[in-house]
Amino acid sequence: MAISLVKTSPPAAEPKPPLLEVRNIEVVYHDVVFAVKGVSLTVAAGQVVTLFGPNGAGKTSLVRAISRLLQSVEGEIRSGSVRFDGNALDTLAPHQIARRGLYQIPEGGNVIKELTVRENLLLSQFCRDGRGSLNDDYARVVDRFPLLKTREAQLGGYLSGGEQQMLSMAKALLANPRLLVLDEPSLGLSPMLMQENFGALRELNRDFGIAILAIEQNARVALDIASYGYVMESGRVVYDGPAEQLRENREIQEFYLGLEGGLKKSFRDVKHYKRRKRWLS
């Protein structure tokens, strides 16, 4: 499946076998902390899916599990499986998963501060498996993000937070994956930069057919670009559905979108809010 960085037509609408299939993943830290309690989700090719929820819900743990990066934080997958393009990822090392086309940008971006912008971008060549011409695609990417062009020789650490996120996006584009997993891409960004980055994400999906799984705390932005969403709380998926459905849902509106239905509540009502959440066990 060679995809070049030239713009293609938007993905077809017929149902496909899912690109990413997560089945009942359980993640445990230090043998005692149960972070992800059996989560399943799917991402189809070319789809934009979002996973949102409060702090500590286990979203980052899940995403680390998908890319098999739990060892350095003393976590392990206790049960469940992840399949990418029909192949199980159980026995693969993180770099092999990246090479197959599942590219993850962890929280805070994946910019290596001690390397220059150019060197950071060149790191993406290891995911490409020699597809296409690196130099041509490099030139195209740098043209798309002119800010990076002016800073090619600067160390990554000297870029601002938003610029680093942009660099991460550029690296992802150059790596040409089939699925891009982003952990909190809006974290710490000004609204303007956020719009720009999410615009770039939309472009990646529309023009290059890259599927996206975005983990977010900012549900509004997430539901803006996604076509499907999952809500995760306390290690479990508690609600999922197409984006419009999530946007209409009253509970989600209240807890994640900040829309309280207009009426001011008295403290007594707020105190009891937890009991109204249908899906809390």
Partner 1 sequence: MELFVQLLLTGIALGSGYALGGIGFVLIYKATGVFNFSHGQLTMAGAYFFYMFQVQLGLPPWWSVPAAVASMFAVGVLIERVCLRRMVGEPAITIIMLTIGLGALLRNLVGLVWGTQPQAPVPLFEPGYLSILSVQIPRVYVWTLVAAAIFIAGFVVYFRKSAQGIAMRAVAFHQDHAALSGISIQRVFALSWGLAGVTAAISGIMMVQLVGLDLSMDARGLSAFPAAILGGIDSIGGVIIGGLIIGAAESLAGGYLDPYLGGGAKEVVGYVVLLLILMLRPYGLFGTPEIRKV
Interface with partner 1 includes 16 (CB under 8 A)?
A: no
One residue of 42, 50, 61, 104 binding partner 1 per CB under 8 A: 104
238 interacts with partner 1 by CB under 8 A: no
d(CA 164, CA 166): 5
Least distance CB 108 / partner 1 (angstroms): 10
Q: How many Å apart are CA 202 and CA 204, to the nearest integer?
A: 5
Q: Is 36 in the site for partner 1 (CB under 8 A)?
A: no
Q: Which of 88, 93, 139, 259 binds partner 1 (CB under 8 A)?
A: 93
**C-alpha distance from residue 111 to each of 97, 108, 162 (Å):** 19, 8, 11
Per the listing, tokens 């539901």 go with: 223
Q: Which is nearer to partner 1, 123 or 225 (CB)?
A: 123
Kindly indicate which of the ranges 20-28, 89-97, 145-153, 205-213 contains the residues binding partner 1, using the contact rule CB under 8 A: 89-97
Q: Which of 42, 60, 110, 205 binds partner 1 (CB under 8 A)?
A: 110
Binding mask 114-153 for partner 1 (x = CB under 8 A): xx---x--xxxxxx--------------------------
Q: Is 80 in the site for partner 1 (CB under 8 A)?
A: no
Site string for partner 1, 58-77 (x = CB under 8 A): ---------x-x--x-----
- Structure tokens belonging to residue 195: 């719009």
- Residue closer to partner 1 by CB (options 47, 168) is 168
Contact status: 155 vs partner 1 (CB under 8 A): no
Binding mask 166-205 for partner 1 (x = CB under 8 A): -----x---x------------------------------
* Sole binder of partner 1 in the list 19, 20, 82, 111 (CB under 8 A): 111
Positive or negative CA dihedral for 127, 120, 135, 199? positive
Total number of residues that touch partner 1 (CB under 8 A):
28
Which residues of this chain interact with partner 1, rule CB under 8 A?
Answer: 67, 69, 72, 93-96, 98-99, 103-106, 110-115, 119, 122-127, 171, 175
